[in-house]
RNA sequence: GCCGAAGUGGUGGAAUUGGUAGACACGAUGGAUUCAAAAUCCAUUGCUCACAAGGCGUGCGGGUUCGAUUCCCGCCUUCGGUACCA
């Protein structure tokens, strides 16, 4: 019987599907375990070998946990809203729903043939109305909530309205817009309904606000910073302007501190935690108000982390976009300031931030008054200050901040020294711990901490500032001018947004003729002719019926990509529930994700927004946990190994890799499928693939054409994409699974090279041969040998340790060693080979199932208990001691482990090789570490 | 600039707490089998040296230690992220 992997794999995939082997129940006597993958975006290109890496790792873990007696939920779905499908629709006119469904089919086929233990009965698709109904529902929940700083959680908006009508907003301690004004209960009652709605919008957790965006008129859309290159759009090269637009925002800033604190209780990679905490960017300090010294006395609020250095302020710097710049600039400085603003506007935010070497700025001609000394402080503008951060203005202390120092030096501004015993002629002094303040009135002689405290106290006493904690984290813009996204459950009456009642959800995407923005610059939904809300019939009706009394226009924006992915992990717990987002029973049973595997590129997007929604849902009592994933692992990227041929510029001849020295050659990508394991090119195949090379001479070395190799990102244009379908066909899914794990550590990025797969494929064949010989099962009931037991238990121990530490590459090696040893031992004992099949099962499930069945079992191997490691089989009585001289190992010596230090030393010194090494010298010292090493010094 | 990760044979990588550097594979070389090929099996394979002995070897330069891929200090390079965050 041959190892016919194609047949075996198809058979077991069918078996698992028919028997619903991996369907997880929402109740069980077993403990629960939830293993989650980041669900894929189903792109038109299908999967390449890099995609399944994380899925294979999580599948091994899920399968292992089933063997360990857990009720495992391992779901999969699709993040199926997104830009590529929309782009494709614009180009071809095909509805994104159609192309998306087709892509999902391809993905499913590709995933199925790798043998994942997914519970497909729980599949979700974010673009499915039965799913996005609940995305819309959460949006309504957020709209109907405000953040109470006193209780430190989200509360129903009704409780806020109640407070307003009984006591106004004076005692409300909420996270809200900065421009809120004070009102009393009677004021509130006197406001019109529209005025009340406007005020409430400033408190809601999702709200409409004017936000500055990168607007590209030609594309009719907002662009991200990295979609803009040199001031024009990456796509098409159209001009981009900064523009204020009314958009939906999420008040994630309300959760800044809790998002930071929560990081301490989850087991996520430290680099990822660092990325999130840097993104949240908490800094403690003070806000200080400076007033301009003209008649208008404009207040300029700044935030500083160093209020102790306030007497060192010698100028202020505003962002060029700061509102005050136009108002305070003097006549003489006007043209210079305007020119500078114009120059700044052309630079992208990215450019401004990356360039640290160029110092630029302009004096506005205006002065502010120092809050304590009352001296005039010149006000400058500079593009190192960003409008979007803090207040867009800084108090500049050149002696204590290097950037301020450089700015002052460059523009010849005074640099007063307020640090005792410190030379600041060359650079600023930034060591807080060694700071002693001087030349600072009431702060003189104080150390950093005390000076900060006192400075804040004095500022507060004078009403010129207060202690403050500042976060970099900004509210998240939630509107997109796109078609293929969730529609908002929102219509507009009298210009104010109104929520559609949850019982009428979902609000389905309307049909449109064109997926582009309208000619008037409205989002694509502006093309829909049936896109109005009837408050009487409670349904979507034609726009022509809009009367603004009972029928109103609907929101034209759609939600961003991260909307659908921010609660999908909870929806998996109860995916078909049409009455609730998930039943209480389901969420109380599954609680949270035990293991989440995905890429680190989502660190400050998906993974931060999901934590935000989770905390919000927790506040509202929908969830038992305020963190959704206990443990997270980042899998690394699989890069491609590109192949190159070398064409000589002059002659046009193509030279083999070894012949290109001293020649001027151009490397040209060759398709990696035309290259074998020895880097040898299939020239005929290449000429067939690139007919231009039909008549080109290929100059060979030793009769072969050897290509050059380079590691690059896997991409179509580099011809280095490897499709898992081909691998599965040629070597089988089990080989693919093992090889992806064997490539290297899960977290590390590593290059793919198909050549090496013959190693793991050969291993599977050897494994098979342990069980079969000449087509017949050769398992015996014989007692196993001592060596075989040792091999088995060594393997159990190592593999189990490896799974727990996600070191899957080393366990594949361990399997190879195990099979090599058992083969050498001619082991055919059932008591060894049965547990071996179980050990291998999480990694190579198809062959394991087949072996299990051939050994006489009728049920799937998937829940058979994992073998138990027994240390007694590994006990050793002696050890091969390395004997080293001055730290260098020279020879080894077999010695009993019972020997004492002294006995070991005596035995080693008596050895003839020791005497030979010493050549008559007397050692200075002999280090004996029993069970480890002997080192002779001297 | 800042933050993070990483530099080990021809290649992917191993060495879990400071204790035999290069496990396991790929590739290469030689051999067996075969009409031949595929497949399979055996041997060798860090560099240096004709062999042996020896010497050199984990990005570079120092240090700690009986002993360093592992710890410390100072650099260099590559990759990923980014926010001049006051």
Give the residue among A1, A611, A574, A3 at the shortest CA–CA distance from A257: A611
116-135 of chain A touching strand B, CB 7 A cut-off = none
76-115 of chain A touching strand B, CB 7 A cut-off = none
Contact A639, A712 (CB under 8 A): yes
The answer to whether A882 CB sits below 7 Å from nucleic acid chain B is yes
pLDDT of residue A420: 85
Nucleotide nearest to A756 (CA to C1'): B26
The answer to whether A765 CB sits below 7 Å from nucleic acid chain B is yes
Chain mean position to CA A167 = 44
The answer to whether A868 CB sits below 7 Å from nucleic acid chain B is no
The answer to whether A885 CB sits below 7 Å from nucleic acid chain B is no
Nucleotide nearest to A349 (CA to C1'): B83
The Cα A862–Cα A489 span in angstroms is: 44
Alpha-carbon torsion angle A420, A356, A300, A152, nearest 10: -90
Full-model pTM: 0.91
Q: What's the burial of A270, exposed, middle or buried (CB within 10 Å: 0-12/13-18/19+)?
A: exposed
In this predicted model, what pLDDT tens digit does every residue of A46-88 receive, in sequence order? 888 888 999 999 999 999 999 999 999 999 999 999 888 888 8
Give the residue among A208, A195, A209, A207 at the shortest CA–CA distance from A157: A207
The mean of the pLDDT values for chain A is 89
Q: Which of A265-279, A311-325, A523-537 has the highest mean pLDDT?
A: A523-537
pLDDT of residue A799: 95
Nucleotide nearest to A605 (CA to C1'): B81
pLDDT band at A354 (very low <50, low <70, confident <90, very high): low
- Residue A445 gets the label, from left (phi > 0), alpha (psi -120 to 50) or beta, of left
- Residue whose tokens read 């559609």: A500
Nucleotide nearest to A285 (CA to C1'): B86
In this predicted model, what pLDDT tens digit does every residue of A699-723 receive, in sequence order? 887 777 888 887 777 877 788 888 8
682-721 of chain A touching strand B, CB 7 A cut-off = 713
Nucleotide nearest to A798 (CA to C1'): B16
The answer to whether A2 CB sits below 7 Å from nucleic acid chain B is no
The answer to whether A577 CB sits below 7 Å from nucleic acid chain B is no
Chain mean position to CA A662 = 45
774-813 of chain A touching strand B, CB 7 A cut-off = 798, 801-802, 805, 807, 809-810, 812-813
Q: Where are the alpha helices (DSSP H) in A481-621?
A: 561-565, 568-571, 584-590, 606-619
Spanning CA of A143 to C1' of B46, the rounded length in angstroms is 65
The Cα A798–Cα A815 span in angstroms is: 10
The answer to whether A309 CB sits below 7 Å from nucleic acid chain B is no
pLDDT of residue A201: 94
The answer to whether A604 CB sits below 7 Å from nucleic acid chain B is yes
pLDDT of residue A425: 81
Q: Is the pLDDT of residue A607 over 80?
A: yes
Spanning CA of A936 to C1' of B49, the rounded length in angstroms is 28
Task: Name the phi and psi angles at A720, rounded to 5.
Answer: -120, 15
CA distances (Å), A760 to each of A54, A441, A737, A763, A799, in order? 19, 75, 10, 5, 16
For residue A664, what are the contacts with CB-CB under 8 A and spacing of at least 6? Answer: A648, A649, A650
Q: What's the burial of A262, exposed, middle or buried (CB within 10 Å: 0-12/13-18/19+)?
A: middle
Q: At what angle do helices A757-771 and A845-854 cross, to 10 degrees?
A: 10
Q: Is the pLDDT of residue A356 over 70?
A: no
pLDDT of residue A353: 64
Task: Name the phi and psi angles at A314, rounded to 5.
Answer: -120, -5
Contact A498, A234 (CB under 8 A): no
Nucleotide nearest to A391 (CA to C1'): B86
Give the residue among A228, A260, A226, A250 at the shortest CA–CA distance from A241: A228
CA distances (Å), A68 to each of A28, A707, A863, in order? 14, 48, 8
Nucleotide nearest to A388 (CA to C1'): B85
The Cα A316–Cα A100 span in angstroms is: 54
Contact A213, A330 (CB under 8 A): no
- Residue whose tokens read 């006193």: A150
pLDDT of residue A165: 94
244-273 of chain A touching strand B, CB 7 A cut-off = 270-271
CA distances (Å), A120 to each of A111, A151, A575, A708, A916, in order? 11, 41, 11, 43, 69
Please state which of the ranges A65-74, A382-391, A721-730 shows the lowest mean pLDDT: A382-391
Contact A205, A615 (CB under 8 A): no
Spanning CA of A48 to C1' of B60, the rounded length in angstroms is 39
372-411 of chain A touching strand B, CB 7 A cut-off = 383-386, 388-390, 392, 394, 397, 401, 403
Mean pLDDT of A346-371: 78
3-class secondary-structure state, position A318: strand
The Cα A713–Cα A445 span in angstroms is: 58
424-463 of chain A touching strand B, CB 7 A cut-off = none
278-297 of chain A touching strand B, CB 7 A cut-off = 278-279, 281, 283, 285
Question: Rounded to 5 degrees, what angle do the CA atoms A93, A94, A100 make?
Answer: 145
> Which nucleotides of strand B are protein-proximal, with an atom < 7 A from a CB?
1, 3-6, 11-16, 19-21, 23-28, 39-41, 54, 66-68, 79-86
Spanning CA of A430 to C1' of B85, the rounded length in angstroms is 16
Spanning CA of A785 to C1' of B15, the rounded length in angstroms is 29
CA distances (Å), A544 to each of A528, A534, A552, A707, in order? 11, 12, 10, 66
- State percent of chain A over pLDDT 90: 54
pLDDT band at A676 (very low <50, low <70, confident <90, very high): confident
Q: Is the pLDDT of residue A695 over 90?
A: no
pLDDT band at A348 (very low <50, low <70, confident <90, very high): low
The answer to whether A352 CB sits below 7 Å from nucleic acid chain B is yes
Structure tokens, A5: 């992997």
Structure tokens, A840: 């291998």
Nucleotide nearest to A677 (CA to C1'): B27
Chain mean position to CA A859 = 39
Q: What is the DSSP letter of A734?
A: H
Nucleotide nearest to A396 (CA to C1'): B86
pLDDT of residue A402: 81
The answer to whether A3 CB sits below 7 Å from nucleic acid chain B is no
Spanning CA of A901 to C1' of B67, the rounded length in angstroms is 17
pLDDT band at A294 (very low <50, low <70, confident <90, very high): confident
pLDDT of residue A349: 63
In this predicted model, what pLDDT tens digit does every residue of A838-897 receive, in sequence order? 999 999 999 999 999 999 999 999 999 999 999 999 888 888 888 888 888 888 888 888
Nucleotide nearest to A889 (CA to C1'): B20
Nucleotide nearest to A927 (CA to C1'): B66
611-670 of chain A touching strand B, CB 7 A cut-off = none
CA distances (Å), A455 to each of A390, A440, A443, A743, A858, in order? 20, 10, 7, 58, 78
The Cα A212–Cα A245 span in angstroms is: 6
The answer to whether A918 CB sits below 7 Å from nucleic acid chain B is no
Spanning CA of A10 to C1' of B39, the rounded length in angstroms is 24
pLDDT of residue A596: 94
The answer to whether A926 CB sits below 7 Å from nucleic acid chain B is no
Q: Is the pLDDT of residue A600 over 90?
A: no
In this predicted model, what pLDDT tens digit does every residue of A745-790 receive, in sequence order? 998 888 888 888 999 999 999 999 999 987 788 899 989 999 999 9
pLDDT of residue A795: 95
Spanning CA of A819 to C1' of B54, the rounded length in angstroms is 38
Q: What does the DSSP assignment read for A788-844?
A: HHHHHHHHHHHHHHHHHTT-HHHHHHHHHHHHHHHHHTT--BHHHHHHHHHHHTTTS
For residue A580, what are the contacts with CB-CB under 8 A and spacing of at least 6? Answer: A574
Nucleotide nearest to A678 (CA to C1'): B27
β-strand pairing of A228-229 with A232-233:
antiparallel
CA distances (Å), A27 to each of A34, A466, A574, in order? 13, 54, 12
The answer to whether A750 CB sits below 7 Å from nucleic acid chain B is yes
Nucleotide nearest to A404 (CA to C1'): B86
3-class secondary-structure state, position A246: strand
Q: Is the pLDDT of residue A229 over 70?
A: no
The answer to whether A30 CB sits below 7 Å from nucleic acid chain B is no
What ipTM does the predicted assembly reach? 0.92
Nucleotide nearest to A303 (CA to C1'): B86
3-class secondary-structure state, position A131: helix
CA distances (Å), A28 to each of A9, A25, A31, in order? 29, 7, 7
pLDDT band at A138 (very low <50, low <70, confident <90, very high): very high
Q: Is the pLDDT of residue A142 over 70?
A: yes
Structure tokens, A630: 């206990």
Please state which of the ranges A497-501, A573-577, A779-783 shows the lowest mean pLDDT: A779-783
pLDDT band at A832 (very low <50, low <70, confident <90, very high): very high
Give the residue among A524, A530, A585 at the shortest CA–CA distance from A558: A524
Nucleotide nearest to A739 (CA to C1'): B25
Name the protein residue, with chain letter, whose CA is nearest the C1' of B20.
Answer: A882
Contact A388, A373 (CB under 8 A): no
The answer to whether A600 CB sits below 7 Å from nucleic acid chain B is yes
Structure tokens, A590: 């599954």
Spanning CA of A532 to C1' of B67, the rounded length in angstroms is 79
The answer to whether A204 CB sits below 7 Å from nucleic acid chain B is no
The Cα A416–Cα A439 span in angstroms is: 9
The answer to whether A347 CB sits below 7 Å from nucleic acid chain B is no
The Cα A218–Cα A520 span in angstroms is: 11
The Cα A369–Cα A297 span in angstroms is: 9
- The radius of gyration of chain A's CA atoms, rounded to the nearest angstrom, is 35
Give the residue among A309, A465, A328 at the shortest CA–CA distance from A398: A309
Give the residue among A665, A663, A658, A664 at the shortest CA–CA distance from A681: A658
Spanning CA of A744 to C1' of B8, the rounded length in angstroms is 14
Please state which of the ranges A11-15, A279-283, A588-592 shows the lowest mean pLDDT: A279-283
Chain mean position to CA A790 = 42
Spanning CA of A758 to C1' of B40, the rounded length in angstroms is 13
């Amino acid at each position: 019987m041959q190892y016919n992997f194609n047949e075996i794999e198809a058979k077991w995939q069918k078996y698992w599907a028919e028997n619903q082997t991996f369907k997880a129940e929402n109740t069980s006597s077993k403990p629960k375990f939830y293993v989650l993958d980041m669900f894929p975006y189903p792109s038109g290109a299908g999967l390449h070998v890099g995609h399944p890496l994380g899925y294979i790792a999580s599948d091994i873990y899920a399968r292992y946990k089933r063997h360990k007696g857990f009720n495992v939920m391992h779901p999969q779905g699709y993040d199926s809203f997104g830009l590529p499908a929309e782009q494709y629709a614009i180009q071809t006119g095909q509805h994104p729903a159609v192309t998306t469904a087709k892509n999902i089919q391809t993905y499913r086929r590709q995933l199925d043939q790798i043998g994942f233990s997914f519970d497909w009965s729980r599949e979700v698709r974010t673009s499915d109305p039965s799913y996005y109904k609940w995305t819309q529902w959460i949006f309504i929940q957020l709209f109907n909530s405000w953040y109470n700083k006193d209780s430190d959680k989200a509360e129903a908006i009704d409780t806020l309205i109640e407070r307003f009508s009984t006591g106004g907003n004076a005692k409300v301690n909420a996270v809200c817009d900065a421009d809120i004004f004070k009102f009393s209960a009677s004021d509130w009652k006197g406001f019109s309904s529209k005025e009340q709605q406007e005020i409430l919008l400033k408190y809601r957790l999702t709200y409409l606000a004017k936000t500055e965006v990168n607007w590209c008129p030609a594309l009719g859309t907002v662009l991200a910073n990295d979609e803009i290159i040199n001031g024009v759009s990456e796509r098409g090269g159209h001009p981009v302007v900064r523009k204020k637009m009314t958009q939906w925002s999420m008040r994630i800033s309300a959760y800044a501190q809790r998002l930071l604190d929560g990081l301490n209780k989850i087991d996520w990679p430290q680099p990822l935690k660092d990325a999130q905490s840097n993104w949240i960017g908490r800094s403690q300090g003070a806000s200080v108000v400076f007033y301009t010294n003209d008649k208008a006395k404009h207040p300029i609020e700044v935030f500083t982390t160093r209020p102790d250095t306030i007497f060192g302020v010698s100028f202020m710097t505003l962002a060029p976009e700061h509102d005050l710049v136009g108002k305070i600039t003097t006549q003489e400085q006007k043209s210079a300031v305007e020119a500078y603003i114009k120059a700044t506007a052309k630079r992208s935010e990215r450019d401004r931030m990356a360039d640290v070497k160029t110092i630029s700025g302009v004096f506005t001609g205006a002065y502010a008054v120092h809050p304590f000394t009352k001296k005039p402080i010149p006000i400058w503008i500079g593009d190192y200050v960003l409008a979007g951060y803090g207040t867009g203005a800084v108090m500049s202390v050149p002696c204590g901040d290097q950037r301020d120092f450089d700015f002052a030096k460059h523009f010849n501004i005074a640099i007063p020294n307020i640090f005792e015993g410190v030379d600041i002629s060359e650079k600023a002094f930034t060591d807080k711990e060694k700071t002693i303040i001087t030349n600072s009135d009431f702060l003189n002689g104080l150390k950093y901490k005390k000076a900060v405290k006192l400075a804040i106290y004095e500022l507060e006493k004078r009403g010129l500032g207060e202690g403050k904690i500042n976060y970099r984290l900004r509210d998240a813009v939630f509107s997109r001018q796109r078609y293929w996204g969730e529609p908002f459950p929102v219509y507009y009456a009298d210009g104010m947004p109104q929520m559609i009642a949850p019982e009428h959800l979902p609000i389905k995407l309307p049909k449109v003729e064109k997926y582009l923005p309208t000619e008037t610059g409205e989002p694509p939904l502006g093309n829909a002719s049936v896109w109005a809300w009837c408050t009487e019939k409670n349904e979507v009706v034609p726009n022509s019926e809009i009367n603004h009394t009972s029928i109103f226009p609907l929101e034209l924006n759609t939600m961003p990509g991260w909307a659908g992915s921010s609660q999908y992990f909870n929806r998996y717990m109860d995916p078909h529930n049409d009455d609730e987002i998930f039943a209480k029973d389901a969420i109380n049973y599954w609680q949270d994700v035990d293991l989440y595997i995905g890429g680190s590129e989502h660190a400050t997007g998906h993974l931060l927004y999901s934590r935000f929604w989770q905390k919000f849902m927790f506040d509202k009592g929908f969830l038992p946990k305020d963190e959704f994933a206990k443990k997270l692992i980042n899998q690394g990227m699989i890069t491609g190994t590109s192949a190159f041929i070398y064409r000589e510029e002059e002659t046009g001849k193509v030279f083999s890799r070894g012949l290109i020295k001293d020649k001027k050659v151009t490397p040209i990508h060759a398709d990696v499928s035309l290259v074998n394991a020895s880097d040898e090119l299939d020239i005929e195949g290449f000429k067939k693939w690139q007919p231009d090379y039909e008549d080109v001479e290929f100059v060979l070395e030793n009769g072969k054409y050897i290509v050059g190799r380079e590691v690059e990102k896997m991409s179509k244009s580099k011809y280095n994409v490897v499709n898992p379908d081909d691998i599965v066909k040629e070597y089988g899914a089990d080989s693919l699974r093992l090889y992806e794990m064997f490539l290297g550590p899960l977290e590390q990025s590593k290059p793919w090279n198909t050549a090496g797969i013959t190693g793991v494929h050969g291993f599977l064949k050897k494994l098979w041969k342990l069980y079969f010989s000449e087509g017949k099962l050769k398992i015996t009931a014989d007692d196993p040998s001592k060596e075989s037991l040792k091999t088995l238990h060594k393997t159990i121990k190592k593999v189990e340790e490896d799974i727990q530490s996600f070191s899957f590459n080393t366990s594949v090696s361990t399997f190879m060693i195990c099979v090599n040893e058992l083969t050498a031992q001619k082991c055919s004992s059932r008591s060894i080979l049965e547990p071996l099949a179980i050990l291998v099962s999480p990694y190579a499930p198809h062959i394991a199932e087949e072996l299990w069945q051939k050994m006489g079992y009728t049920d799937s191997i998937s829940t058979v208990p994992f073998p138990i490691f027994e240390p007694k089989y590994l006990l050793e009585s002696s050890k091969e001691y390395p004997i080293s001289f001055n730290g260098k190992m020279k020879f080894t010596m077999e010695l009993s482990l019972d020997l004492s230090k002294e006995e070991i030393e005596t035995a080693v010194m008596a050895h003839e090789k020791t005497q030979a090494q010493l050549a008559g010298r007397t050692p200075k010292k002999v280090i004996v570490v029993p069970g480890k090493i002997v080192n002779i010094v001297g």
